Amino acid sequence: MYAHANAHSNSNTNTNTPKPPNDTTPSSPGQTAWSTPGRAARDFRSDTITTPTASMLSAITHTTLLDDCYVEDPTTNELEALCARLTAHESALFVLSGTMGNQVALRTHLGAPPHAVLLDARSHIMVHEAGGLASLSGALAQTVLPANSHHLTLPDITRHAVLTDDIHSCPTRIICLENTLHGTVMPLAEVQRITAWAHAHGILVHLDGARLWEAVASGAGTLAEYASAVDSVSLCFSKGLGAPIGSMLVGNKAFIKRARWIRKCFGGGTRMSGVLTAAARSAIEDTFLGGRLEGSHRNARRVAEVWRGLGGKLVYPVETNMVWLDLEAHGIAVERFVEAAGRRGLVVMGGRLVVHYQICEDALVQLEGVLRGLLAGEEGVDGGAEA
């Protein structure tokens, strides 16, 4: 989960995970948990909440069942080939999670210490991967807060990268970018500028593209344009695309050959991987290529317009599927927001709202009522407005 990591985080994030509504049991005869999104349709905590679909289940039941550790499973091999084509890279490797994809990529790129990785201080690799950069790769993290408070730029990089061979320093070997980060889009031209400078100085560039699908859906660039601008990319299937598990790591053939070995070292080798990769391919085809992400972006803008129309302030601009309500600026306790949403059958956990593609129309209507109760003070709108 990509959490908020600036001065607003204490007031905008509830550390006690709310209890979701109990609406997970299909009510119609013949329905299963795969038939509808269930409670995901009313859950704004994250796009990791998206649930696998009936078409994914169908793909799983028709998948191949051969051993991926021997690179023999056709379904997995075909998905890897598809992702390599979509990203204009030579090769690809299926991994079990976004964290595994990032950590395998970093360990694959890095040789022996001393070495450092330069990255955004708010990034998933830095904040939400259990210190894997240090424990798995023995690397120093050179963290940078973007001067524009939005995305890293080349001046941010050049000010902080360590290029010297002075034995007292730890040289920068990799620059890690993230797109999207907090739902905001890193411009393609900036990615290209950073990579050109990095390569000129012998530095590799890895992109945490767990939500790169969202940047592409926003119209900022194609998947191939973004991915081919860097040395390696990790792409997540289980966030906004709705697959049950998995990510893809892409890069050149030599990189993926070594990454396959590192993945095995990390315990990430799988046997009958087709049951996972079949669902992942369905997610790409139905959700990403099927154009479903664009609708979630429109809904996110709709939520933001309601909030701003009531005089509400945002922490970040709404550029994809995330809306960051500045609860602190309005003196609204996270607990009050969580409780008000819960009374209307919604699940939130703070000022970050992730409007994934399975959010239903009624959830949006109910959320509007919660926001009006919080900011407009309409009596009873949020289940009992404060005096």
Say which CATH number the domain at 67 has.
3.40.640.10
Same domain, yes or no, for 28 and 130?
A: no
Same domain, yes or no, for 318 and 225?
A: no
Query: In the chain, which stretches have pLDDT less than 50?
Result: 1-11, 15, 22, 24, 379, 381, 383-387
pLDDT at 344: 97
Longest CA–CA span in the chain (Å) reads: 71
Spatial distance between the Cα atoms of 127 and 109, rounded to a whole number of angstroms: 20
pTM of the predicted model as reported, rounded to 2 decimal places: 0.90
Contacts 24+ apart (CB under 8 A), 127-136: 127/3, 127/5, 128/1, 128/2, 128/3, 128/99, 129/99, 129/102, 129/103, 130/99, 132/99, 132/102, 132/103, 132/106, 133/103, 133/106, 136/103, 136/106, 136/107, 136/266
91-95 vs 116-120, strand pairing mode: unpaired
The separation between the first and the last C-alpha atoms of the chain, rounded to the nearest angstrom, is 35
Q: Of 219, 253, 288, which residue constitutes the final position of a domain?
A: 288
Residue 71 domain flag = yes
Residue 385 domain flag = no
Please answer whether residues 250 and 84 qualify as being in contact, where contact means their C-beta atoms are separated by less than 8 angstroms. Answer: yes
Residue among 283, 196, 293 nearest 248 (CA): 283
Spatial distance between the Cα atoms of 99 and 184, rounded to a whole number of angstroms: 20
Q: Of 238, 253, 288, which residue constitutes the final position of a domain?
A: 288
Same domain, yes or no, for 369 and 235?
A: no
Same domain, yes or no, for 283 and 296?
A: no
Same domain, yes or no, for 203 and 351?
A: no
Length of the chain equals 387
Number of domains in the chain: 2
Residue 26 domain flag = yes
pLDDT at 24: 47
Looking from the CA of 151 toward its CB, the CA atoms found within 13 Å total 22
Q: Of 236, 264, 288, which residue constitutes the final position of a domain?
A: 288
Cα distances from 126 to residues 121, 133, 145, 339, in angstroms, run 6, 8, 12, 31
pLDDT at 338: 97
Residue 225 domain flag = yes
Looking from the CA of 104 toward its CB, the CA atoms found within 13 Å total 34
Same domain, yes or no, for 301 and 241?
A: no
Residue among 346, 222, 342 nearest 355 (CA): 346
Same domain, yes or no, for 173 and 279?
A: yes
Residue 269 domain flag = yes
Residue 172 domain flag = yes
Same domain, yes or no, for 250 and 124?
A: yes
Same domain, yes or no, for 271 and 344?
A: no
Spatial distance between the Cα atoms of 49 and 216, rounded to a whole number of angstroms: 21
Estimate to the nearest angstrom the gap between the alpha carbon of 79 and the chain centroid: 20
Residue 163 domain flag = yes
Domain with 202 in it: 55-288
Please answer whether residues 178 and 208 qualify as being in contact, where contact means their C-beta atoms are separated by less than 8 angstroms. Answer: yes
Residue 237 domain flag = yes
CATH classification of the domain holding 338 = 3.90.1150.10
Same domain, yes or no, for 65 and 13?
A: no
pLDDT at 6: 37
* Alpha-helical runs (H) found in 201-352: 212-217, 223-228, 253-265, 274-283, 292-309, 334-343
Same domain, yes or no, for 310 and 239?
A: no
Same domain, yes or no, for 264 and 364?
A: no
